Structure 1
């Protein structure tokens, strides 16, 4: 009897894991929306518009940085290539284990090339917010 129960639990867990591992390609509408979110936030940084940039961040980010001033201060210090890019080129949106990710190629203010991986979170109202950004040094020319 315990073998049967173990087998059922094992099959259920395997089924859940295989379902979770199936990546779904983002729709064209999602890709357009996510790219626009990044463009809007980068434009807000260029204008030093903390409230606009902060408004595009997911609730988890807003919880970590509880005001637009704290948020934009963190971006200035930790993400200078995002805060003041020399150039930007948009890559593809893809699904990852942590959700949809927009790849953005950025040349920072110092001329260094970076790949920014923007992660998104769908909100209960169906809208999307930026849930994080990781910077990876890129040795290839951006543009």
Structure 2
């Protein structure tokens, strides 16, 4: 009986370990998004750009080109009245998909779906964002 109990405790500990690691990774990815949204709100364009992954920086090689893209198609992300994290999907320990529910500057609801990848420096950076009008309730 004692060996069975010990084995059950070890197995329970192993089962809990990936969830704890996943929580830390999700929290780190959400922190990156939050930092970028706060940088947008503070008009700190360089800080917002610094949170983009290298693949995004190759497409938009300057802060100015990046901000032109954001302001041209992502105003709810650029100037949210409010935002809250929604569903998260961990594709792997280094790849996260994060839903963000936003109220845009126009007062309408939007859903942004971010993809993030863990970089060599240990920081999750944003690899993409899709935006669409949402029927979700405002937060």
Runs of 4+ in 1 over 6 A off after TM superposition: none
Unaligned runs of 5+ in 2: 1-17
**Once superposed, what is the RMSD of the aligned Cα atoms?**
1.8
Q: Which residue of structure 1 lines up, in the alignment, with residue 70 of structure 2?
A: 75
Q: Which residue of structure 2 lines up, in the alignment, with residue 39 of structure 1?
A: 34
Figure out how many residues of one structure are paired with residues of the other and give that number. 119
Q: Distance in 2 between matches of 1:131 and 1:79?
A: 15
Q: CA deviation at 1:124?
A: 2.3
CA contact (8 A) 2:84 2:101 kept: yes
Q: Distance in 1 between matches of 2:119 and 2:48?
A: 17
Q: Secondary structure at the residue paired with 1:27?
A: helix
CA contact (8 A) 1:89 1:142 kept: no
Unaligned runs of 5+ in 1: 1-23
What are the within-5 Å matches in structure 2 for residues 1-143 of structure 1? 27-96=22-91, 99-143=95-139
Q: Distance in 2 between matches of 1:112 and 1:93?
A: 22
Q: CA deviation at 1:48?
A: 1.3
TM-score by length of 2: 0.78
Q: Distance in 1 between matches of 2:76 and 2:23?
A: 27
